[in-house]
Amino acid sequence: MNILEIQKKVFPKIKEALNKEPEAISSLEETKDGWVLQCDVLEKKAVPSTFDLLKIFEFRLDKNAEITGFKQVKKVRRGDMS
């Protein structure tokens, strides 16, 4: 399974779990049990957009890209991301 396949499969499930639209995958790592994926989710829109508040979530996925758990790992302003 490649990153695009994982994204297509898991983004609708992330949206359902968080009731928010995921923006992007910020990291994806294969593990012995499946995958660990981090994604950015817009929490609060601001003007200018560099002040948008984003939450970064980590999702654990099994080999079939089914979510087995998740947690918020940080909160950042879009302009502060490096």
- pLDDT tens for 17-57 read 999 999 999 999 999 999 999 999 999 998 888 888 999 99
Beta bridge partners, 29, equal 36
Look at the chain and report how many structural domains it folds into.
1
Rounded Cα gap, residues 30 and 62, in angstroms = 10
Q: How does strand 22-30 pair with strand 53-62?
A: unpaired
Asked if the model's pLDDT at residue 82 lies above 60, the reply is: no
Domain that holds residue 67: 3-80
Structure-block tokens of residue 29: 């790592």
